[in-house]
Structure 1
């Protein structure tokens, strides 16, 4: 059943990003840069490096957690890792829960480290894992960090999903104290609120990936696996990535951004809203499944080139400098900020 579910997830996720919902509106479109025609810098002054979990990343982009556990998903992980190696991107595996249930699936995950031997690799588990299990998957991948994903909405809709979430904070603390590598807690597409990020800061984690609404919708995926599809009303649940970044500012942890990042401008917007780095899953998944690693290498290379160009245009020599750009917040995002009492810092509030 688990193997079938993992292949179903890939099939349904690709369908989301290729189907009629692929170009759905995003609150990233509510983030506009105030254009200053003399603000630009020189391209050769732009430095894309950023610091995450105590390590320097060569670019503020990463391939976020997707899959693993079956022969087909193992091939996807191999191709993702090849693209990460050739472009310098950090990469996260999908949840290693299948490996804990069946060690025979190990190769579908270790292929990431084998094909990206010197890169930043993140293992991934849910918050039900024990400290021993967390140490085990970190060791399997020689991982540089461990992602713990929070997916209560997905589990609620999943026919065979978990129904107990109250122990998660204590489990996260125990894992963070045990694994010996930085722990990054992420959502799976429903967003981390500022209150949640502040709670995570007290649990001893190194960073939070807000992973908001706008990309792959796991409520929709799991509802598609239900015979009666009776949870359709939960599609679209949660905070968007832009909303989550604004809500979680100054909550005590470095922030990463993923969920609904469609192109380099969305990445620049996320960095301007305070993210240290920006992850993508769906666009990279559709590219690699259609064209293999060469197609994904070409796409990532284009993203890096255009990210550099946009930073040059905006006069931001480093990703951190994007946070000083003047922004206009419009539409639904402006309304969200008004209701939450969020104001941008002086000099950015327009």
Structure 2
């Protein structure tokens, strides 16, 4: 007999949100975004009134170059979070994703925690979210539950490794990706959950039919750390501490700079703290940028009433930064000159990435 959704599985959903919020308070302020600088050209700026933040992602046009990435859903508390997030997305026109809907597919009583998104945001751009390894039929059900415009399919091998109850068999994941891509009635966006998609992985995803990928790198919500914290006092945890993997994976910027030609169109998330980070990711090759932690913090502080003004500030500040850099549209940022320093520069050198070319993209 299946456990009710309000037992261990529901506790895990709430723990993820609670621990992510708590760990933001004591996480180091610096991340790979601080290793990237723009060369300032004092006469290159444009009129901010000419800047259009709209971006093309696959077949879609989004009015903002950032979106709310998948967070949660399925319990009473997380239903309230999804409701407020959907209201904020509706009021600002920002695309949004939900957290994994697997719990609702297995426990129909949890579906309310996701259906509320469409109730509050009936015409906005919404992405459903499902873990790799689920069936093609589950992918179709996930899309139908939210009347979704796209399906995020997440890869979370590091998180599964840190979970005592997690899977240890990743051998079927490639076949699962291929089946879901073929069966989904909407485009599939394959994403990591905070450990990055390597050049090799992106090439393989392209071979499996994936056209859009979110590199979702390290530096933001850390599910390895969350799973370690969630089970610290659990008897099952004996001999199951994976804190030695702290820092595992690549940052979003590392993944973007290392991405192959001919791979999927790229989205980026992981450690995005402010509009300047958004602009850096766009300049490094992202078509749009996912945000979770900063928006979740605003939601927990004051719901949509707090998040809406924050999103509006991000729009205004992103517009101003593009004008400063001489970019009338996000796509033009890929011609700006980037200086890469620190650990990110070391990664680039080891991977054969030409840092001088990045620093002189606009010409002499």
Structure 1 length-normalised TM: 0.97
In the TM superposition, residue 240 of structure 1 has moved relative to its aligned partner by 0.8
Within 5 Å, which residues of 2 pair with 1:114-263?
Answer: 114-226=119-231, 227=234, 228=237, 230-263=241-274
In the TM superposition, residue 205 of structure 1 has moved relative to its aligned partner by 1.4
**2:202/2:260 contact within 8 Å kept:** no
In the TM superposition, residue 24 of structure 1 has moved relative to its aligned partner by 2.7
Distance 1:181 1:105 in 2: 23
Tell me the equivalent position of 2:68: 63
In the TM superposition, residue 345 of structure 1 has moved relative to its aligned partner by 7.8
RMSD: 1.3
Distance 2:215 2:260 in 1: 11
Distance 1:234 1:31 in 2: 25
List runs of 5+ in structure 1 lacking aligned partners. none
List runs of 5+ in structure 2 lacking aligned partners. 1-7
Distance 1:28 1:347 in 2: 15
Distance 2:67 2:127 in 1: 10
Distance 2:197 2:309 in 1: 31
Distance 1:257 1:213 in 2: 11
1:206-251 deviations in Å (ceiling 9; x for gaps)? 2010000000000000001223572111222110111111111425
Counterpart of 1:7 (choices 8, 11, 14) is 14
Tell me the equivalent position of 1:25: 30
* Residues 45 and 325 (structure 1), Cα distance of their counterparts in 2 relative to 1, 3 Å cut: same
Distance 2:202 2:20 in 1: 27
* Residues 42 and 218 (structure 1), Cα distance of their counterparts in 2 relative to 1, 3 Å cut: same
Mean Cα deviation higher: 335-344 or 260-269: 335-344
Distance 2:125 2:199 in 1: 27
SS in 2 for 1:10: helix
**2:127/2:148 contact within 8 Å kept:** yes
Tell me the equivalent position of 1:288: 299
1:339 aligns with 2:347: no
Distance 2:358 2:78 in 1: 47
**2:345/2:355 contact within 8 Å kept:** no
Distance 1:312 1:56 in 2: 21
**1:272/1:322 contact within 8 Å kept:** yes
1:241-283 deviations in Å (ceiling 9; x for gaps)? 1111111142511100100001000000000000000011011
Distance 2:148 2:286 in 1: 22
1:100-124 deviations in Å (ceiling 9; x for gaps)? 1101111100111111111110000
Distance 1:131 1:250 in 2: 29
Distance 1:53 1:263 in 2: 25
**1:71/1:108 contact within 8 Å kept:** yes
**1:343/1:349 contact within 8 Å kept:** no
**2:118/2:146 contact within 8 Å kept:** yes
**1:195/1:251 contact within 8 Å kept:** no
SS in 2 for 1:258: coil
SS in 2 for 1:196: helix
Distance 1:252 1:150 in 2: 17
Tell me the equivalent position of 1:279: 290
SS in 2 for 1:309: helix
Alignment length (residue pairs): 348
1:16 aligns with 2:27: no
**1:96/1:124 contact within 8 Å kept:** yes
1:303 aligns with 2:310: no
Distance 1:146 1:262 in 2: 25
**2:13/2:73 contact within 8 Å kept:** yes
